[in-house]
Amino acid sequence: MTDDTTVAGAGANPAEPMSRGAVLWVFVGLLVSMFMFSLNQTVLATALPTIVGELDGWDSMLWVSTAFMLASTATMPAYGKIGDLFGRKPLFLVAISIFILGSVIALFADSMAMLITGRVFQGLGGGGLMTLSQAIIATIVPARSRGKYMGIMGSAFAVSSVAGPLLGGWITEGPGWRWAFAINLPLGALAILTAAFLLKLPHQKADERPRIDGAGMMLIAVFTTCLVLMSAWGGHQYEWTDPVIIGLGAASLVSAVTFVFVELKVTEPIVPMSLFADRNFTLSTIAGVFIGVAMFGVLSYMPTYLQMVHGVEAARAGLMMTPMMGCMLIVSTGIGFVVSRWGRYKIYPIIGTVIIGLALFFMSRMHPDDSAVIPIALLALLGLGIGLSMQLLVLIVQNSFPVSMVGTATASNNFFRQIGATLGMSVIGSVFTARLMTNLADSLPAKAKGAADASAQLTPAKAAELPAPIHDAVIASYNDALVPIFLWVVPLLAIAAAILLFIKEIPLATTVGKQGSTRTTLEDSSEVSSASSAGAR
């Protein structure tokens, strides 16, 4: 990596070059930001049974995770576009501040409503942490060197995503679940300090600042909200044929269609439709959606599954997830350095997606009588697949566009991937809950009428105290409610792997600001060698 690590986007004043040391310190701050975002997607997974039991809110459990995902997903495109237009540094600082505010609200929550409110604010800031961290790296590091940086970012994501349940379990059994939010305060302060004093990015001239696409932002928020509510409530709080669900589906469809028309008309669209003319963007985004469904659907509910079915404590459930973390950490970091060294990247996400599908297939065959080694090994296999795929999909997208558009492209890609993650959590959560209620009613016929109410107060600790016949019925109900759902996701991974076969392997740029010189449109049928020739201009 050279010391000349900044580049001005269109209509911007160049910033002072950053030294190598400054880049590394800023990278640490960005890693911390990514760590906070991904940690807060999963840190409550093992703590959730205790939290909802303490706050008496099993009927609202789904929203503790979904509220965060919904808010972060809806704001990602806005952060990406506004960052491209007005500068990423001040927006990044605002995002961290909002995230910290949400953490404070959740820290002092005395009800599920207050906790969910805090999670909403965390999500509103978290959307910027995820998107702007990646966009800033694309601004200060050339694409060829970016592979190792993105690999390390992927490792941070791996550590925080899978260490989240472990940390959440330890916190729950130790100082208390509120510390899951308290730890964000010093981490957020570190990220703010490094960005405020060391990060140097181009500044947009005041007289060149275009109008913000307010209509697009509103429509994308409406679309995301309606889609998530429909998937969360359908088959759970309402039948799929209920007017509420039908209305939400219609509203999401209308808002999506209206959004497309608006984006085609405005000067600076929040999600330019021209992005979809790029083959690599479109294919990587579709694959990312499907992988997001699989990854977050599993991460959200496996810790609770391990506690209930295998009878382990929250901390041990998190510990059982560490092989997955280790595989993601090693593979994501290693593959990043391999890509930076050799410049080839297409095959790895394909292999990773196939491995994820295989892991989910075998997970769908788990049984309560299985040794605990079985889910641990399968989670490790899942981590291997995720490590090979997730961060490289972002690199593929970023390499297809100039730096002046990289924030918008990255944010749009992340948005659709988070849609997949949110749908994965919501749909799997809704189906799991509905199946669990049915299974409990069938397994405990004498208490079928109160099964749903009883389950609202059921924690892993209480389940362990049940008489043996009832305990066995509860375990079987949990297992049969969750693991078959994993098989339903496997076809999505097969489609994703097939889609990725058509990715064009564009040479990675070796200097900042040079990526995107070769565009691969969906109509382009030229050979890879032709793309390589163009990319070398």
Q: Please check whether residue 506 is in contact with residue 534, taking contact to mean a CB–CB distance below 8 angstroms.
A: no
Using DSSP's 3-state secondary structure scheme, residue 203 falls into: strand
Half-sphere exposure of 334 (CA within 13 A, CB side): 11
Contacts with 341 (C-beta within 8 Å, 6 or more apart), sequence order: none
Which one-letter DSSP state was computed for residue 512? T
Residue-level pLDDT at 235: 67
Dihedral (CA of 312, 163, 157, 372) sign = negative
Residue-level pLDDT at 8: 38
Residue-level pLDDT at 192: 92
Whether the pTM exceeds 0.95: the reply is: no
Contacts with 168 (C-beta within 8 Å, 6 or more apart), sequence order: 42, 43, 44, 45, 46, 47, 177, 180, 303, 314, 318
Strand partners, 521: 278
Q: Which position has the token pair 């995720």?
A: 386
Closest to 79 measured CA to CA, from 33, 39, 115? 33
For each of the chain's 537 residues, which pLDDT tens digit applies?
A: 433 333 334 444 545 566 677 778 888 888 888 888 888 877 887 777 788 878 877 767 778 877 887 888 888 888 888 887 878 888 999 999 999 999 999 999 888 889 999 999 999 999 899 888 888 887 777 766 766 777 777 777 767 766 776 787 788 778 888 888 999 999 999 999 988 887 777 665 544 556 788 888 899 989 988 987 887 777 667 887 899 999 999 999 999 999 999 999 888 888 888 888 899 999 999 998 888 888 877 777 887 788 888 888 766 877 788 888 888 888 888 888 888 788 788 899 999 999 999 999 999 999 888 888 999 999 999 999 988 988 788 888 888 887 778 778 888 888 888 788 777 777 787 788 778 878 877 777 654 445 444 455 566 667 777 777 777 888 888 888 888 888 988 999 999 999 999 998 887 765 555 555 444 444 443 333 333 333 333
Strand partners, 278: 521
